[in-house]
Amino acid sequence: MQMKPMNNYKNMTDIVFILYHLYIRNKKRVIALLLDIVNMMSLKENILIKIDNIYHYPHFNQ
């Protein structure tokens, strides 16, 4: 069974909508979830370096 592009788009908007409402309720959890997603996408080092530069957290350096 093939996925239609519109279905994929709708699923993405649903995910964004859900994340937005979770973000309003619990910001820390959503940020942690997004970092987990970034982790899975192997962009971890890039993002952590940016976070390190913004917040100056030495423990982000590996």
Q: What's the confidence (pLDDT) of residue 61?
A: 47
pLDDT digits (tens, 9 = 90+) for 5-37: 555 666 777 777 777 777 777 777 777 877 777
Measured distance CA(1)–CA(38) in Å, rounded? 29
Q: Which of 29, 34, 54, 53 is nearest to 44 (CA)?
A: 34
Whether residue 45 is predicted with pLDDT greater than 70 in this model: the reply is: no
pTM listed for this prediction:
0.29
State which residues form the domain around 56. 5-60
